[in-house]
Amino acid sequence: MAEGGTARNHAVAHVLEEIADLLELQDEQPFRVRAYRAAAEQVRGLAVDIAELDAAGQLDAIPGVGKALAAKIHEYLTTGQLGYLERLRAQVPAEAVALLRVPGIGPTRARQLIKRGITSLAALRAAAERGELRGIPGFGAALEQQVLAALATPEERPARLLLGAVLPLAEALAAELAQHRAVRAVSPVGSLRRWRATVGDVTLLVATAEPDAVIAALPNLPGVERVRAEDAWQVLEHAAGVPVRVVLVEPDAWGTALLFWTGARAHVEQLAARAVARGWRLTPAGLVDERGRRRAGADEAAVYAALGLDWVPPELREGAGEVEAAAAHALPTLVTVADIRGELHAHTDWSDGADTLEQMVEAARARGDAYLVITDHSPTPAVAGGLSAERLREQHRAIAALNAKLAPFRVLHGAEVSILPDGRLDYPDDVLAMLDVVIVSVHNQFRQSREAMTERICRALAHPMVDVLGHATGRLLGRRDGYAVDLEAVIATAAAHGVAIEVNGQPDRLDIEDVWVRRAIAQGVLVACTTDAHSRRNFDYRRYAVGQARRGWAEARHVLNARDLDGLLAWRAARRAAHQQG
Ligand SMILES: [Zn+2]
Ligand SMILES: [Zn+2]
């Protein structure tokens, strides 16, 4: 599994994060909070079951896990509880932790709220509605409005989960379930199977002829705290804090159930209409003809075939032309993770990355990539620790030295250059000229008018040394909408100048989104499936970038980093030559 680990690892990581949250609310030393968060990240990314490390007495071999933390993890793994966590929980009102999750409210403001007796989201909302927040030090009218918007009731703003936050958990649970002798097949369904950027729930579909045996096994899955029956399914309450629905179906109906549970509704309705046109009926239990005979049911591809259609990859099932394409045998051959030859966007500890240049390069090589483009930040804004021109030259020499020993693997020297508010770039041309790949991104002044922002980005794309536009809308899912920008105009400008547009795989970005990928490739713009890695572990995000590109109907030929090193360099050289002539 790309992100490794088991459901148990996720449970332990969640416990460590809860401790960090609780410590943060108690004004603990920031380094202790960071230590717990860092350990949580390490545990979540473990390739092995943490229980095995514990059994071997090797918990403290996990980076960031010392003796004291190892003892706590051991206690949790062996007893299912942790005394230290229970004590912390007793000291902080249970609901107060949720305050930390509200956009704009960090630990400092959360402590201010708790001091005033505002210890739940409901109390926070009531205080905001009465206009009382603005009077609290560190708050203000604007933040009060922001809080109100964020706390709109679920009907007003449905809670969505990040794909990258829940897919690894769903996969880990599916892998555990697949081990059970009575389980014939298991798959995540719904938006999760369609790789939507955010999902409303986590549902696993299980094919079994012995539902009782499977239900009896559910409470023993790692990290599962409780199981309750609800309507026609079981709900697992998991230590990772995400409820997981498990739906059991007869193996005979696996294919049709998979189709119905995967959706989207518009897609399924179009298939049902094709069945009706033949005098048949498509139901979750099977595809039935006019004489009541089952034409298909056990196998999903056979259901499509019976309806005269090629099998449609789940990422395309949105009712956006894919059924017509399947009927005409004209579906795209979607890009896959295996098509990607190298990473185009990665940070090191030269700027705000967590790992060294050497560690990033080694990790990329170990994954089987052919190249890695190092793209640390330019100096603006200062918070990202960007490189001065002088430091960038120093990095250039460091990369040249690495390349001398690493051939045929190639480290390319790039940069993620900020687009300044007026559209100029954050390095002068003579500095840009030293770089192999130039990504440009907006990192500040998000509140410009739509016209100003569009002009700003388009001006940058017209610069002859720019290769790729990074996270084009700046959205942070669940935290901030993208800035106002005319993406139609941006894509047209990228097409005119031969600039590629990034599909950023960070789970809270996934920017640009699928519909714009489809727009971009229709205009002849290449997309770049990047991870924007800020640590070696982030290279695992590649599959999310590819997932969004697939949702945008992208084939390998539409993806810049599906080219091999020579192909990438030739693309770059051809664009430079064209500019020099023009
Ligand atoms: Zn960026
Ligand atoms: Zn970046």
pLDDT digits (tens, 9 = 90+) for 187-217: 999 999 999 999 988 999 999 999 999 999 9
**In DSSP terms, which residues pair with 412 in a beta bridge?**
373
Closest-approaching ligand to the CA atom of 442: 1
Nearest ligand to the C-alpha of residue 347?
2
In this prediction the pTM is: 0.77
The confidence band for 127, taking pLDDT boundaries of 50, 70 and 90, is: confident
List beta partners, residue 373.
412
Q: How far is the CA of 116 from the centre of ligand 1 (A)?
A: 37
**C-alpha of residue 186 to centroid of ligand 2, in Å:** 36
CA distances from 556 to 236, 395, 513, 550 (A): 38, 31, 17, 10
Q: What is the pLDDT of residue 582?
A: 57
Q: Considering every ligand atom, which ligand is closest to the CA of 352?
A: 2
Whether 121 has a pLDDT exceeding 80, the answer reads yes
Does the pLDDT at position 3 exceed 50? no
Q: Report the separation in Å between the CA atom of 373 and the middle of ligand 2, taken as the mean of its atom positions.
A: 12
Confidence at 393, pLDDT banded by 50, 70, 90: very high
Spell out the alpha helix ranges (H) of 367-485: 389-406, 429-432, 450-461
What pLDDT score does 349 carry? 95
Q: How far is the CA of 233 from the centre of ligand 1 (A)?
A: 42
Which of 70-79, 81-90, 237-246, 432-441 tops mean pLDDT? 432-441
**What mean pLDDT do residues 534-544 have?**
96
Please provide the average confidence, as pLDDT, over all residues in the chain. Answer: 91
CA atoms of 507 and 520, how far apart (whole Å)? 21
What angle (nearest 5°) sits at the alpha carbon of residue 388, between those of residues 387 and 394?
A: 80
Among the bound ligands, name the one nearest to the CA of residue 472.
Answer: 1
User: Average pLDDT, stretch 258-276?
Assistant: 96
Q: Which of 5-9, 167-171, 382-386 has the highest mean pLDDT?
A: 167-171
Query: What span, in angstroms and rounded, lies between the C-alpha atoms of 352 and 355?
Result: 9
- Report the alpha-carbon distance of residue 72 to residue 18 in Å, rounded: 13
Nearest ligand, measured from the Cα of 351: 2
Distance (Å) from CA 369 to ligand 2 centroid: 19
Q: Which one of 43-57, 468-482, 494-508 scores highest in mean pLDDT?
A: 494-508
**Which ligand number lies closest to the CA of residue 440?**
1
Residue 321 has pLDDT above 70, yes or no: yes
| Residue 361 to residue 372: CA distance in whole angstroms | 7
Q: What is the arrangement of strands in the sheet containing 500-504, beginning at the earlier edge strand? A: 342-346, 371-377, 410-418, 437-441, 468-469, 500-504, 527-530
**87 sits in which H/E element:** helix 83-91
Q: How far does residue 13's CA lie from ligand 2's centre (Å)?
A: 25
Question: 23 pLDDT exceeds 90?
Answer: no
* Distance (Å) from CA 206 to ligand 1 centroid: 40
3 state SS of 169: helix
Residue 503 DSSP label: E
CA distance 161 to 508: 10
Tell whether the model's pLDDT for residue 335 goes beyond 60: yes
- Burial class (CB within 10 angstroms; exposed 0-12, middle 13-18, buried 19+) of 83: exposed
Per-residue pLDDT, 153: 53
In the prediction, which pLDDT does 5 show?
56
150 pLDDT higher than 90? no
How many A from CA of 440 to the centre of ligand 2? Answer: 9
Over range 165-172, report the average pLDDT.
Answer: 93
Which DSSP category does 382 fall into?
Answer: G
Nearest to 414 by CA among 491, 476, 354, 344: 344
Q: Which residues contact 293 (CB under 8 A, 6 or more apart)?
A: none
Residue 139 Cα, ligand 1 centroid: separation in angstroms?
A: 28
C-alpha 100/C-alpha 190 separation (Å) is 29
What's the gap in Å between 529 CA and the centre of ligand 2?
13
The three-state secondary structure class of 352 is: coil
* Ligand of minimum distance to the alpha carbon of 533: 2
Q: How far is the CA of 349 from the centre of ligand 1 (A)?
A: 15
**Of 21-35, 183-197, 466-480, which gets the smallest average pLDDT?**
21-35
The full set of domains in the chain, from first to last, is 7-150 (1.10.150.110), 161-249 (3.30.460.10), 254-327 (3.30.210.10), 337-581 (3.20.20.140)
User: Ligand 2: distance of its center to the CA of 438 in Å?
Assistant: 12
Q: What is the mean pLDDT of residues 337-359?
A: 96
User: Which residues does 550 contact at the CB level (< 8 Å), separation at least 6?
Assistant: 195, 313, 315, 316, 334, 335, 336
SS3 358: helix
Q: Ligand 1 centroid to 409 CA: how many Å?
A: 25
Q: Which ligand is nearest to the CA of 345?
A: 2
Q: What is the DSSP letter of 381?
A: S
pLDDT of residue 134: 81
Note the pLDDT of residue 4. Answer: 43
Cα 158 to averaged position of ligand 1 atoms, centre (Å): 28
Residue 531 C-alpha to ligand 1 middle, in angstroms?
Answer: 11
Q: Is 365 helix (H, G, I), strand (E, B) or coil?
A: helix
The token pair at 415 is 């940069």
Lowest mean pLDDT among 6-15, 310-319, 442-451: 6-15
Specify whether the CB–CB gap between 169 and 14 falls below 8 A. no
Q: In what order do the strands lie in the sheet with 243-249?
A: 183-188, 202-208, 243-249, 233-238, 224-230
pLDDT, residue 139, reads: 82
